[in-house]
């Protein structure tokens, strides 16, 4: 199958498979983690009492719900596979250097939010700490 639906170079016409593959090839694995950190941050809220209550709920879900535990285990594995230092080298290929740096900064910030959110919920601050066979 062609990478695009139409014979244009518009990003809207790009199929999902080459799009997802390119994130993996660049060692970002973005489709596997992007949005989790922001989502958890929004769910926790800003009010300290609400944050504490919502974090406790996420921790209970992690301990007591196999689906959620598997989801976070998969997220942990994807984060471990991502190599942002290598991915940052791809910024050098962008013609508009300011744009490349701005986009990568947003990606890196979301990656860090996602790691922090996962660490908060699981209590592990190292990738794959709960799965030594993959570490």
Structural domain contains residue 73: yes
Is residue 2 over pLDDT 60? no
CA distance 96 to 48: 41
Report yes or no on 11 lying in a domain.
no
Structure confidence by residue, pLDDT tens digits, 12-34: 776 666 667 788 788 889 999 99
CA separation for the pair 56, 59 (Å, rounded)? 5
Whole-angstrom distance, CA of residue 33 vs CA of residue 29: 7
Inside any domain, residue 61:
yes
Portion of the chain with pLDDT greater than 90, in percent: 69
Query: What is the count of structural domains for the chain?
Result: 1
In a domain, 18, yes or no: no
Domain membership of residue 17 (yes or no) is no
Look at residue 5 and tell me if it is in a domain.
no
| 62-85 residue pLDDT tens | 999 999 999 999 999 999 999 999
> Is the pLDDT confidence value at 11 over 90?
no
Note whether residue 14 is domain-resident. no
CA–CA distance, 97 with 103 (Å, rounded to integer): 10
- Asked whether residue 131 is assigned to any structural domain, the reply reads no
Q: What is the reported pTM? A: 0.83
Residue 45's domain comprises: 35-122
């Amino acid at each position: 199958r062609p990478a695009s639906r139409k014979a244009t170079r518009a990003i809207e016409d790009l199929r999902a498979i080459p799009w997802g593959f390119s994130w993996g090839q660049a060692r970002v694995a973005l489709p596997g983690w992007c949005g989790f950190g922001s989502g958890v941050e929004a769910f926790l809220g800003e009010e300290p009492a609400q944050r504490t209550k919502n974090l406790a709920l996420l921790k209970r879900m992690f301990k007591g719900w196999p689906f959620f535990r598997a989801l976070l285990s998969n997220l942990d594995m994807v984060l471990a596979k991502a190599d942002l230092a290598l991915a940052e080298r791809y910024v050098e290929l962008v013609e508009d250097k300011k744009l490349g740096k701005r986009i990568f900064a947003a990606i890196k910030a979301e990656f860090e939010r996602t790691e922090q959110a996962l660490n908060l919920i699981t209590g592990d601050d190292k990738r794959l700490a709960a799965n030594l066979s993959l570490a």
